Amino acid sequence: MKMKPKHTFVVNANLPHQIETLKELAYNYWWCWNSDARELFIRIDRDLWEEVNHNPVLLLNKLPQSKLLQLAQQADFTSYLHYIHGKFLHYINSHSWFKKSYEHVKGQIAYFSPEYGINESFPIYSGGLGILSGDHLKSASDLGIPLVGVGLLYQQGYFRQHLQQNGWQTEMYLYNDFYSMPLVLIRHENGEPIILDVDLPEGKAYFQIWKLNVGRINLFLLDTNIDLNSRDEYRDITDQLYGGTRETRIQQEIILGIGGMRALKVMGIDPEVIHINEGHAAFALLERIRFYMEKYGTDFHTTKQIVKNTSVFTTHTPVPAGNEMFKLDLFEKYFNNYYQQLGLSKKDFIELGQVESSNVHDEFSMTVLGIKLTAYENGVSKLHGSVSRKMWKDIWKCFPEDEIPIKHITNGVHTQTWVAREFSELYDRYLSPVWRTDTDNPEIWDKISIIPNEEIWREKQRRRVRLVLFIREYLKKRQKEFLLPEQVSKISGFLDPDALTIGFARRFATYKRALLIFSDMERLKRILLNSEKPVQIIIAGKAHPHDVQGKEVIQTIIRRIREYGLEGHVVFLEDYDMVISRMMVKGCDVWLNNPIRPLEASGTSGMKAAINGTLNLSILDGWWDEAFNAKNGFAIGEGEEYNNQDHQNIIESNSLYDLLEQVVVPMFYNRLSRIPQSWVNFMKESIRTIAGEYSTHRMVKNYAEMFYIPSLKNFQKLTSNGADGSIQLRLWEDKVKQFWSSVEIIDISIKDNINTYLGKPIHVSTIVALGQLKPEDVTVQVYYGSVNPHNEMIDVNYETLGLIKSEANYHYYEGYYNCPGTGVQGFTIRILPRHDMMVNSADLYLCAWANQ
């Protein structure tokens, strides 16, 4: 029989006053991207540091009091602590990029994400989306962006991967002890935890709020595992990341979005801008509308003007099936009462999440909700922006695909988190330490050429040796059950510290094609076992617990490794996490990525690899499609897309083998004075072109300049004087929608259409009827381009025409455009709604074209 306690309390380490600032440092993840701060905790007890998985709070809690007293008396330790703490305070209080650039811009941004990968000691992330969110917060801190994060605090986090001896993945869920993590429970002034709730079908679900410090940024995490939730189902809402049923998922997203907004409100945080990172948190947009309806006494459609024009939505998924959708019966079950609070009919409410309005067979899409309630939307690479416009073009039916207002901001990585210490010291020495703060400045990285080839190659060799030693030790400690008995005794001979090392680490979704390099095992074996030019492969990654196909891929890889006797040359590391990721991107020579184009939205692991001199070998998909320049890595194919996947796999696997045999391996082993000069030149070009451009410093600045700053300004315009701006915008929008059917293009003419030539100004005039609308309500444009054999305009552009005169109901416009090309050219006329407070001309989904 197990007894439950009558009373509970939390016991923490009692730090002597000489070292009490250790607690402040331990409770702020700033240390995890500052190597000298990390060194402070390593100095305390290296073995214990590894045992607690780099959790400084747990480290301090596990130290005996005698050890703490001993540390307090060590002059060298207290001196180093004083130095690190001073550095931390300087960072927190220093004048930031944002303050320097936007001194007079006021307001706050709330960033919502379902997962955050800050550090391995805080396991509430599954993969790329979470790591990106964590890196976003770190750069926002470095740049001084006035931002807070909102997420869920998972009791078990994401699963821990265990491989059975036959290679089958099984899952383990370990409980997180929040009181031994750098978390602070948010409390009322009387010391009681702040408890909030949301309405669910079976009653209220209660949650509490924890705070995590990420440099200057506060990350607030919501937790339903509290006694007030009498139903186990509701206590378990924040149990597992991406676990449970479809009901669990909608419950989590209600807590994240609606609960997240309520948590900010109770803490006195009223963000002028919110950024929804993927559709999982899109319910926050609805709750924000509800808040402002109460605050300003306005209806849904008026209040929507405020929220839409001050909200950002980032989509990460390039396939429709990957976007979060709920069946309508499930959705209605959870929102049957909520839509009435918004003053909407059920039909109007459901249409917010549907591409095709009133389609009773359609599901409710969180991505569509995010798109319809934000004016700032983006994909996460140039190619993904194009894919997203194609995916969601039916929301803007009367606009050409290339004018769908989904932009792109290519992802990046937080450089200081992912760069190896050896390389960061090299950059300090030759580029100056300014690379740490002005990371996105290309002029800094242009200096990479001055680093001697010998030095950069030496550091890369050191990282490869460290990687090999790490893997051998990891296999001994963590994977004994997975290895065959005869393999255990041979671990010390696994991998060659001098061999060309290829890394492949990612989620084992089938479209990522982990099996591609294992398509022709005889050919691969010849490449790997070449005694003069040996090659080895390190693989890591998890399949989602419900992804049987992904698990089968892992099992197939392990079976083929064993069948062909490649155990010492191809290693699969189980339970992929940030530790393994850091070791691999720093130590591998080549980073392999071979998804089916264009299904990789962006990808960031290759960026992490590049800043450590690891060369990308990748399909031209995601970020690599725009980064590759033929001198900074290797491309598989030329960006082709196929209809037959089997045919594609054959072509691209052969292309991969050809690249390895004819280009990659020979270049690596072509040594002059024991240094592969051409290879090192590729390494330098990779660092030069990728380190700054694909950093989250550049990415977050893009978000600030393109979205956050305009949104902050919009908020002031729309909410001043009792939200008068939103009221006026709503009245104008209603007028335009009411009378748009009467907008018509009556006549089009072109003057001097003789002897046209490239660059010649083309004089266009048109007569339009606007009905009850006025010329100031619209923009009239000439839309022009080349004409293809299908009588379609391509390479199009547009110019705004000027109003010449108005007579009764007719308005005369004319203007010029320069003929842009030779051959058959053409143009047409269109009319768009126009208002000073509209973010995009397509926001009303209205456009009148000349009769086709």
In this predicted model, what pLDDT tens digit does every residue of 332-369 receive, in sequence order?
999 999 999 999 999 999 999 999 876 667 899 999 99
Would you state the structure tokens that stand for residue 479, as one six-digit string? 């994977």
Confidence at residue 672, expressed as pLDDT on a 0 to 100 scale = 86
Q: What is the pTM of this model?
A: 0.96
* CA atoms within 13 Å, Cβ hemisphere of 563: 13
Q: Residue 753's pLDDT is what?
A: 67
**Contact predicate 365/324, CB 8 Å:** yes
Record the tokens describing residue 93, joined without a space: 């209080």
Q: Among residues of the chain, what percentage have pLDDT more than 70?
A: 98
DSSP string covering 652-721, please? Answer: HHHHHHHHIIIIIHHHHH--BTTB-HHHHHHHHHHHHHHTTTTBHHHHHHHHIIIIIHHHHHHHHHHHHH
Reported in sequence order, the residue ranges of 235-329 that DSSP labels E, i.e. its strands, are 273-277, 311-314, 325-326
Q: What angle do CA 740, 741, 744 make, to 5 degrees?
A: 90
Structure tokens at 488: 């255990």
Predicted local confidence at residue 12, as pLDDT: 76
Mean of pLDDT over the chain: 95
Which residues are CB-neighbours of 336 under 8 A, at least 6 positions away? 346
For 692-709, the pLDDT digits (tens) are: 999 999 999 999 999 999
Low-confidence ranges of the chain (pLDDT < 70): 1-4, 6-11, 320-321, 358-360, 753-754, 852
- 3-state class (DSSP) for residue 167: coil
Length of the chain, in residues: 852
Handedness of CA 425, 433, 140, 702 (dihedral sign): negative
Q: At 619, is the secondary structure helix, strand, or coil?
A: strand
- Report the distance separating Cα 17 and Cα 407, nearest Å: 52
Give the separation between CA 500 and CA 24, rounded to whole angstroms: 43
| Amino acid at the residue 748 | I
Alpha-carbon span 495 to 570, nearest angstrom:
8
Main-chain phi, psi angles of 765, to 5 degrees: -135, 155
Q: Which of 779, 782, 790 is nearest to 818 (CA)?
A: 782
pLDDT for the residue numbered 820: 84
Task: Measure the CA–CA gap between 801 and 271, rounded to whole angstroms.
Answer: 39
